[in-house]
Amino acid sequence: MERGVVKAAVTVLALLLNMSASEFAALQRLPAQARRERLGMPATCRPGLTAIKGNPAGSAQITVLVTCKARRAEPAPRPTESTPSR
């Protein structure tokens, strides 16, 4: 492995929820931190929301896909190489 380079695997968590359109809109308006807290997701997660479809039979509920992609690790700073003075 090269010095100063961090390689990270991406982990994705996904779940489906049923909620009303107004609940979905309220959740969408929240900042990422508040979404994570409300959905019980880890702090390393970047939560995403997608309305997939309405439920059949005239229900007011919609199906929502919630994804949680782990944030990528920041590259480590490269060490500075110095020549010892003599």
The reported pLDDT for the residue numbered 29 is: 94
Question: What pLDDT digit, counting tens, does each position of 60-77 carry?
Answer: 788 899 988 776 555 555
Number of domains in the chain: 1
33 part of a folded domain: yes
44 part of a folded domain: yes
Question: What pLDDT digit, counting tens, does each position of 13-55 carry?
Answer: 788 888 998 999 999 999 989 998 998 888 888 888 998 876 6
38 part of a folded domain: yes
85 part of a folded domain: no
| Amino acid type, 13 | L
Structural domain containing residue 27: 12-70
d(CA 19, CA 17): 6
63 part of a folded domain: yes
For the cut 70, the answer to whether the pLDDT of residue 78 exceeds it is no
The reported pLDDT for the residue numbered 59 is: 73
pTM over 0.75: no
Question: What residues have CB less than 8 Å from 39, skipping those under 6 apart?
Answer: 47, 66
CA 12 to chain centre: 8
